[in-house]
A and B are shown apart, each in its own frame.
Chain A
Amino acid sequence: MRLEPAQLLEGEGGQERGTMMLMVSVQDLKEARESVAGGADIVDVKNLQEALVGSNFPPVVREVRRAFPKRIHVSVTLGVAPNQPGTVAMAVYGAAALEATSVKVGFVQTHYATALDILKESRRALEGSQTKLIAATFADAPLFPGGIDPKLVVRLGKESRSDGILIDTLTKDGRNLFDFLDEATLRSLVTEGKEAGMSTALSGHLRIPNLNALVRINPDIVGVRGAVCANGDREKGAVAASAVARLRTELDARLTGRVDVYSEPGPPDVLVA
């Protein structure tokens, strides 16, 4: 069963009944249209030219937001936030002014106290807005000097009164989320996040063979890009509706029990051009 995304917005905790939202990272309106046509619930507007997970420009976000009804979520990523609370809060305010459904603030080489301060200021910047604040960490942050422990994301989210959490990856060398955090750890973080009333999202080079594990973890949102790009190339390829639809079908097969995530292996990672 699937609920309309608008129904999911009604509860702050995100997933109230059995469903999982599909989020696709897009660079422009054309990719956003492909994503929605293929069955995406959320289009996540980003700019791969800026550190692969950077922010896109306000006119692009505005154009994407205006192209779809509110039941299609439009999220804005701020990528790796600088250690400057005022600058980040202003960017968060901008995302709200563009009527983004959510804005994601991510941390890599940031001390916990600074990250918390940035999120608290971001929270303050969203007062009176419907835009949701998402605290994000990167599973591969320990690869970077001074990288923040990604497992702190739940604590960060709770202490900053964020609406949700995201765990992503920065490394785009073929490794993915599960190369840095195992299933049990991710399940524990997602469960803890849900129990705190936050929405929970996982991303980071995820592909169809990861769907069984993802459904066993059961976050509210699964984020992809490379898996739904032509030729599977997240940077040079463009999002293709047919690939999004295939992933959506495979995800729904697991959510409805047609594929048993506890006993059956996932299908081969066949890419859809």
Chain B
Amino acid sequence: MPPVALTIDGTDRTCKGVIAKLETGLHDLPVGSLFMAIVGDVPTRVDVRAWADRRGHRVLEDRTRDRGGGFELLLAKGPSMDHGEIGS
């Protein structure tokens, strides 16, 4: 498995905040790059998964964190990424 190219710690962010950071961070990464989102609660986890689905990214792993609570989602950047604004 290739290395994780981007990790966003969104444990102190809103759903929109995490997704905005992911959108920005993914912009220059090639298709297939692995990235990780760390989120603090279930609704943010759900929204990140829904966002990934809409943008064509694949969720490879979704696991509960051993420490600190929350979840770690490992994803692969999809081929047809739409950079539409979030919350517009």
Contacts of A255 in B (CB 8 A): 41-43
Chain B residue at smallest Cβ distance from A196: B88
The answer for the CA separation of A227 and B61 in the assembled complex, in Å, is: 34
Beyond contacts A1-B41, A191-B51, A195-B87: 10 other A-B pairs, Cβ-Cβ < 8 A, are A16-B16, A19-B43, A187-B50, A195-B88, A218-B47, A255-B41, A255-B42, A257-B42, A257-B64, A261-B46
The answer for the CA separation of A84 and B64 in the assembled complex, in Å, is: 52
- Determine whether A262 belongs to the interface, using a CB cutoff of 8 Å to chain B: yes
Q: Which of B14, B40, B50, B87 has the most CB of A within 10 A?
A: B50
Chain A contacts with B in 197-256, Cβ cutoff 8 A? 197, 215-218, 254-256
- Determine whether A13 belongs to the interface, using a CB cutoff of 8 Å to chain B: yes
Also in contact, A18 and B42, with CB within 8 A (given A195-B87, A197-B87, A262-B62): yes
Distance between A249 CB and nearest chain B CB, rounded to angstroms: 15
Chain B residue at smallest Cβ distance from A252: B42
Also in contact, A256 and B46, with CB within 8 A (given A13-B87, A17-B15, A191-B54): no
The answer for the CA separation of A255 and B62 in the assembled complex, in Å, is: 16
- Determine whether A80 belongs to the interface, using a CB cutoff of 8 Å to chain B: no
Which B residues have a C-beta under 8 Å from some C-beta of A? 14-16, 40-44, 46-47, 50-51, 53-54, 62, 64, 69, 71, 86-88
Contacts of A196 in B (CB 8 A): 88
Contacts of A13 in B (CB 8 A): 16, 87
Chain B residue at smallest Cβ distance from A254: B42
Distance between A62 CB and nearest chain B CB, rounded to angstroms: 34
- Determine whether A20 belongs to the interface, using a CB cutoff of 8 Å to chain B: yes
Query: In the complex, are the beta carbons of A191 and B87 less than 8 A apart?
Result: no
- Determine whether A162 belongs to the interface, using a CB cutoff of 8 Å to chain B: no
Q: How many A-B residue pairs have CB under 8 A?
A: 62
- Some 21 contacts from A to B, beta carbons below 8 A apart, are A17-B14, A17-B41, A17-B44, A18-B41, A18-B43, A188-B54, A191-B51, A191-B54, A196-B88, A197-B87, A215-B43, A217-B46, A218-B46, A254-B42, A255-B41, A255-B42, A255-B43, A256-B41, A257-B71, A261-B46, A262-B62
- Determine whether A15 belongs to the interface, using a CB cutoff of 8 Å to chain B: yes
Chain A residue at smallest Cβ distance from B51: A191
Chain B residue at smallest Cβ distance from A19: B43
Distance between B21 CB and nearest chain A CB, rounded to angstroms: 15
Contacts of A256 in B (CB 8 A): 41-42
Query: In the complex, are the beta carbons of A216 and B46 less than 8 A apart?
Result: yes
Contacts of B40 in A (CB 8 A): 18
Contacts of B53 in A (CB 8 A): 187
Chain A contacts with B in 170-210, Cβ cutoff 8 A? 187-188, 190-191, 194-197
Distance between B46 CB and nearest chain A CB, rounded to angstroms: 4
Chain B residue at smallest Cβ distance from A255: B42
| The 10 residue pairs across chains A and B that have the minimum distance between CB atoms | A18-B41, A18-B43, A218-B46, A191-B50, A16-B14, A255-B42, A18-B44, A218-B43, A257-B42, A17-B14
Contacts of A194 in B (CB 8 A): 15, 47, 87
Type the 1/0 row for A11-26, where 1 means its CB is closer than 8 Å to any CB of B. 0010111111000000
The answer for the CA separation of A99 and B88 in the assembled complex, in Å, is: 29
Distance between A215 CB and nearest chain B CB, rounded to angstroms: 6
Contacts of B14 in A (CB 8 A): 16-17
